[in-house]
């Protein structure tokens, strides 16, 4: 098994930090969390962690503060980066990155999309248990488009109802104010 780099380990710890809605961590706590990960650490682990932190600072994702004890603060760019860290990005089929993907990346994307497809089929089974034609792989995009269209229609209807409610509430207040005079 390929050993994970220290940069990835540091990014994993910082990603967990951001996902827990925390903005900073003490340096020693970060080092302990990196060492606690399953991948073994070498004798020069501290130097490698410092190098990984230096790369993150150069990427403007973190700031190292030297308060009474050294700590690391995540920048706004870092929050975006670490919040999305570890997720798989999906690109359109004509995107430049898709044409340059390796077989392993294509397999990873295919497995991801298969999981999404199975999840959608499970939802359709729950909503319409007797509609076998909807469960065919070819019909899934049509069904999903119809669901999005339905959601858009419901959002439009909700906006109209809110506007009507606001109008009725204002009219009711106006009538009440007339009778109070």
Tens digits of per-residue pLDDT, 56-113?
Answer: 999 999 999 887 889 999 999 999 988 888 776 677 778 888 788 888 888 887 888 8
Phi, psi at 122, each rounded to 5°:
-65, -40
Q: What is the dihedral of CA 44, 46, 51, 55, to 10 degrees?
A: 140
Long-range contacts of 121-128 (CB under 8 A, 24+ apart): none
Residue 128 CB neighbour total at 10 angstroms: 13
- pLDDT the model gives residue 100: 84
Nearest CA among 59, 3, 52 for reference residue 27:
52
Beta strand 24-26 with 62-66 is: unpaired
User: Does residue 2 carry a pLDDT above 60?
Assistant: no
Region of residue 41 (left: phi > 0; alpha: psi -120 to 50; beta: else): beta
Q: How far apart are CA 156 and CA 180, in angstroms?
A: 36
- pLDDT the model gives residue 134: 62
* pLDDT tens digit sequence for 121-141: 787 778 776 666 666 767 777
Q: What angle do CA 181, 174, 162 make, to 5 degrees?
A: 160
* pLDDT tens digit sequence for 16-55: 999 999 988 998 999 889 888 877 777 888 898 899 999 9
Mean pLDDT computed over 1-13: 78
Q: Encoding tokens for residue 19?
A: 């996902």
């Amino acid at each position: 098994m390929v050993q994970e780099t220290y940069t990835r380990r540091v990014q994993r710890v910082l990603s967990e930090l951001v996902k827990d809605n925390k903005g900073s961590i003490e340096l020693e706590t970060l080092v302990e969390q990196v060492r606690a990960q399953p991948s073994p650490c070498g004798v020069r682990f501290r130097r490698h962690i410092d190098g990984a932190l230096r790369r993150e600072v150069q990427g403007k994702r973190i700031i190292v503060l030297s308060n009474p004890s050294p700590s690391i603060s995540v920048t706004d760019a870092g929050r975006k980066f670490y919040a999305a860290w570890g997720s798989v990005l999906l690109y359109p089929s004509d995107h430049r990155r898709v044409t340059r993907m390796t077989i392993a990346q294509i397999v990873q994307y295919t497995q991801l999309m298969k999981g999404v497809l199975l999840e959608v089929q499970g939802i359709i089974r729950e909503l319409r248990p007797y509609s076998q034609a909807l469960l065919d792989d070819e019909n899934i995009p049509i069904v999903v488009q119809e669901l999005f269209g339905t959601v858009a229609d419901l959002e439009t209807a909700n906006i109209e109802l809110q506007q009507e409610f606001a109008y009725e509430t204002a009219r009711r207040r106006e009538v009440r104010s007339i009778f109070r005079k």
